[in-house]
Amino acid sequence: MGKIRVTDRAGKQVEVLAIAGSPVMYSLRNIDNGVDAICGGLCSCGTCHVYIAHDWASRLPPPAEDEVELLEELENTREGSRLSCQIRFTEELDGLELEVAPEE
């Protein structure tokens, strides 16, 4: 178990719990102004898009090809863009900072 520091879609900062081994998206879809995650984590909707804070981005495993391809289809990508359903939380990620991207 660990925590993720989130700036939600309304700009509010909240901390959410995360379970090691679970996709980060699971911790973000049940909060107000979190991610929609319409496809449920199948890497096909892009509605779990987040911006990983600069200091944390390099500590994540790189995105797989299907994540990269879907990110390329989104309009609001920028440095740190990732799909939160494709990031598995680990104890090393305790304190991870991210921002929920705007709705596409």
Q: In terms of CB distance, is 17 or 38 closer to ligand FES? A: 38
Interface residue list for ligand FES (CB under 6 A): 25, 37-39, 41-48, 83, 85
CA dihedral 71, 66, 30, 76 (to 10 degrees): 0
CB atoms within 10 A of CB 33: 14
CB of 5 to ligand FES, least distance (A): 20
Residue with the shortest CB distance to ligand FES = 85
Residues 39 and 34: their CA atoms lie apart, in Å, by 15
CB of 47 to ligand FES, least distance (A): 6
